[in-house]
Amino acid sequence: MSAAKFWRSLNRLHDLFLLLGFIVLMLISNYCVYDSYYIFTHAEDDDITRYKPTVSGYDPDASPLSQDMAGWLTIDGTNIDYPVMYSTDSGKYLNTDPYGNYSLSGSIFLDSENSPDMTDDYLLIYGHHMEYGKMFGALDDFVDEGYLASHKRGTLIVGRDGRQVYELQVIAAAKVDAKEDTVFRVSRSGDIARFISENADVKTAEPHGRIAALATCAENRSTMRVVVFCNIIE
């Protein structure tokens, strides 16, 4: 093979590798876009509110939501309006939607140390931190006293049949290390009211009686969590 033919072949091979690299990058880019769209649309299932126990005509026996549904959480003025799931497997609903299907956006779920009938003095409820305030992405805003003061009401419904409805008084928000047992170990939460009083970043009222904590990730690759605390009004 002449030198000219060799260099032409080498150039064609070089061009082929560049084309293949470009195609691979396009495929990866398209997958990332699809993955983001998939996660967002699954977190944005507005139709799920038709299965809220207080909706007229709701039939718990006909609901397609998983039997693991322990109740429903709503925080007024936010996108938080979701079923609360429960499993003794604490990681199940990180990647399972309320219908029982695999989903990267997961579900809002009750800590496995809690009782599914939500009779505990302290309820710990988790959700993924999603963009546009979906799932528990809205919790970030509560670490602002003005926002907290203007978004201080919510509702906690217990059971698939809505047998009990509690009013929530949103009282405080804090960034808390995930290793803080007082907050993240229900069995060690006896001093939770004191913890809130002494450690909340923002607080508009004092904790009293039963308390619900809503928790989500604060930042990627961080052990910090954003936690919003609510008094459960009996």
C-alpha to C-alpha distance for 105 and 92, rounded to whole angstroms: 12
Indicate if the pLDDT at residue 31 is higher than 70: no
Q: Which residue has the tokens 């709503």?
A: 74
Mean model confidence pLDDT for the chain: 86
- Compute the average pLDDT of residues 134-145: 95
pLDDT for the residue numbered 43: 44
Q: Can you give the pLDDT at residue 58?
A: 86
Give 94-137 pLDDT, tens digit per residue.
999 999 999 999 999 999 999 999 999 999 999 999 988 899 99
Place of tokens 């203007």: 150
Q: Does the domain spanning 46-233 belong to CATH 2.40.260.10?
A: yes
DSSP classification of residue 21: H
**DSSP strand pairing (69-75 vs 153-158):** antiparallel
Q: What digits encode the pLDDT tens for the residues 40-98?
A: 444 455 689 999 998 877 899 999 999 999 999 999 999 999 999 999 998 999 999 99
Tokens of 154: 């919510």
SS3 assignment, position 2: coil
DSSP conformation class of 138: G
User: Residue 172 and residue 56: Cα distance in Å, rounded?
Assistant: 33
Structure tokens at 233: 């009004």
What's the pLDDT at 208?
94
State whether residue 43 is helix, strand or coil: helix
Under DSSP, is residue 7 helix (H, G, I), strand (E, B) or coil?
helix
Condensed to tens digits (0 to 9), the pLDDT of residues 164-221 reads 999 999 999 999 999 999 999 999 999 999 999 999 999 999 999 999 999 999 876 6
Q: What pLDDT was estimated at residue 133?
A: 81
User: What distance in Å separates the CA atoms of residue 231 and residue 234, rounded to the nearest whole number?
Assistant: 9
pLDDT bracket for residue 23 (50, 70, 90): low
Q: What is the pTM of this model?
A: 0.81
- State the distance between the two ends of the chain, measured CA to CA, in whole angstroms: 89
Amino acid type, 41: T
Burial 151-186 (b: 16+ CB within 10 A, else e): bbebbbbbbbebeeebebbbbbbbbbeeebebbbeb
Tokens of 219: 């930042």
